[in-house]
Structure 1
Amino acid sequence: MSVPGTPMVRICLADDHTLMRDGLKEMLRTDPGFTVVGEASTGTEAVALVTSLRPDVVLLDVEMPGPGAPEVIRRIIRTVPETRVLVLTMHDDPDMVRELLETGAAGYLLKTVPREELLAAVHSVVRRTSDSVVLVVSRQTVEQLDRQRSRPRQVQLTARELEVLRLVAEALSNAQVAARLFITEATVKRHLTNIYAKLDAVSRVDALRKATAARLIDAGGDGSPWGRPGAPANER
């Protein structure tokens, strides 16, 4: 319940499913202290909307068209640092949880959470201190995150990112990688953007070198991870 005189919590919704956004709006309207001020269906729209409206909280899905959740979070934090990003997803994946929290998300919730927990999470991220996060995932994911924290930090690539990187090491173009994996070329580019960010790489060759040094992929017989002419220079 809102307290008289307390400012309304302004919320933006970023999800490419209209039904999901409609359901979230209905749940959020049950708290008189919340108001939904905008909606986006792509990562690019989400960044533009948050930049324009400067909401208190953005509820962000991780699988929307556009630059990908890590890059969307980075852009939002860079342009509107006071906005709290609360990830809301179906993915109960400890690697994804860790990556997005380290990128700057204020919380990570599964879409299976009850309405009361969602409302409480939004209130919590608005009040939170800079070193605390809201986390609603399975016990198994929490346990795996605890185990990861006890180990030295290593670069973590998802299984799909490793598939993309290995095909890039075969000197395939983005279009060829997309055809091999039955995904779109835009999805390949999004995976490469995430790979570059995780490896702190600036190009395909740089990413391959760093991935090989980190033993994420195997080097070729000549000590190089590619061994054939690379992809076109305009493909990153």
Structure 2
Amino acid sequence: MSVPPDPPAVRICLADDHTLMRDGLKEVLHTAPGFTVVGEASTGTEAMALVGRLRPDVLLLDVEMPGPHPAETIQQVARIAPETAVLVLTMHDDPHMVQELLEAGASGYLLKSILREELIAAVGSVAHRTSGSVVLIVSRRTVGQLHRQKPRDRKTQLTDRELVLLRLVAEALSNAQIAARLFITEATVKRHLTNVYAKLGAVSRVDALRKATAAGLIGDGRPGHAGPLHGAPP
């Protein structure tokens, strides 16, 4: 009796702008039988091109990279390679971001604090997209907020990080100052602002502050009147 052949390896692409993070992920994934990392990217644009060229089973995607907003990257990947499952891997435990990226088409949302066994199990579960369920490894607080959230319009709902950034804009901080305050790059600040403008239908900082104030998202829009910075570093 012939022995059935081994199933094909799960082909994985990594998208993270930190080389050490990608190296660590490769080390973890290569310990799992049947997994192989076939490509790496350090920006959202590179990730989309990589997926188009390699057609992996899974894309592990960080959200704090140069390039398009991660929701746009996920949507483009779905158009380019609908067979590729996108697993978001991030440090941001933000229920609004979770909902936004799952609505964009992500197959799962994982925190970077997860165990290696959880990462391997998550990749394996979405590799062949055999069910319509998603993989979610976040805090209990975020799970509770997701259950309480109603369906929303992504064009007007800002994430927690975007609200924090907008409140810093209301304090008249420059992009460089905001980047230093939030421990991110200026490119990431600009990407967040572009996304905020798109959601609010704004064309400038002043316009964004005016519309956010009118929507009750922040204070009166004047420096020093932005309201508390919930979630911002001390």
> By the TM > 0.5 criterion, same fold?
yes
Following superposition, the deviation at residue 121 of structure 1 comes to 0.6
Q: Which amino acid aligns with 1:55?
A: P
Matched, 1:142 2:143: yes
> Mean Cα displacement is larger for which, 48-57 or 210-219?
210-219
8 Å contact kept, 2:202–2:211: no
8 Å contact kept, 2:75–2:105: yes
CA deviations over 1:71-97 (Å, ceiling 9, x no partner): 221221222222111011122221211
Aligned to 1:178: 175
Aligned to 2:88: 87
CA deviations over 1:136-155 (Å, ceiling 9, x no partner): 1111111111111xx35354
Aligned to 1:76: 77
Aligned to 1:67: 68
Q: Which amino acid aligns with 1:86?
A: L
Give runs of ≥4 in structure 1 deviating > 6 Å: 166-170, 205-210
Q: Which amino acid aligns with 2:100?
A: E
Q: Which amino acid aligns with 2:139?
A: S
Q: Using the alignment, how far apart are the partners of 1:166 and 1:209 within structure 2? A: 12
Q: Secondary structure at the match of 2:126?
A: helix
8 Å contact kept, 2:9–2:35: yes
Following superposition, the deviation at residue 118 of structure 1 comes to 1.0
Aligned to 2:226: none
Aligned to 2:122: 121
TM-score, normalised with respect to structure 1: 0.74
8 Å contact kept, 1:71–1:194: no
Question: Against the structure 1 CA distance between its residues 131 and 194, is the aligned structure 2 distance closer, same or farther, given a 3 Å change threshold?
Answer: farther
Aligned to 1:223: none
Question: Against the structure 1 CA distance between its residues 42 and 4, is the aligned structure 2 distance closer, same or farther, given a 3 Å change threshold?
Answer: same
Q: Which amino acid aligns with 1:124?
A: S
8 Å contact kept, 1:70–1:194: no
Aligned to 2:49: 48
Aligned to 1:105: 106
Q: Secondary structure at the match of 2:127?
A: helix
Q: Using the alignment, how far apart are the partners of 2:159 and 2:93 within structure 1? A: 13
Q: Using the alignment, how far apart are the partners of 1:6 and 1:99 within structure 2? A: 34
Question: Against the structure 1 CA distance between its residues 215 and 123, is the aligned structure 2 distance closer, same or farther, given a 3 Å change threshold?
Answer: same
- Where in structure 1 are there 5+ consecutive unaligned residues? 221-236
- Where in structure 2 are there 5+ consecutive unaligned residues? 222-234
Q: Which amino acid aligns with 2:61?
A: L
Aligned to 1:228: none
Question: Against the structure 1 CA distance between its residues 209 and 13, is the aligned structure 2 distance closer, same or farther, given a 3 Å change threshold?
Answer: same
Q: Secondary structure at the match of 1:46?
A: helix
CA deviations over 1:108-149 (Å, ceiling 9, x no partner): 11112222211111111124356321101111111111111x
TM-score, normalised with respect to structure 2: 0.75
Aligned to 2:40: 39
Q: Secondary structure at the match of 1:39?
A: strand
Aligned to 1:234: none
Following superposition, the deviation at residue 164 of structure 1 comes to 5.4
Q: Using the alignment, how far apart are the partners of 1:206 and 1:81 within structure 2? A: 37
Q: Which amino acid aligns with 1:44?
A: T
- What is the count of residue pairs matched by the alignment? 212
Q: Using the alignment, how far apart are the partners of 1:112 and 1:27 within structure 2? A: 14
8 Å contact kept, 1:58–1:84: yes
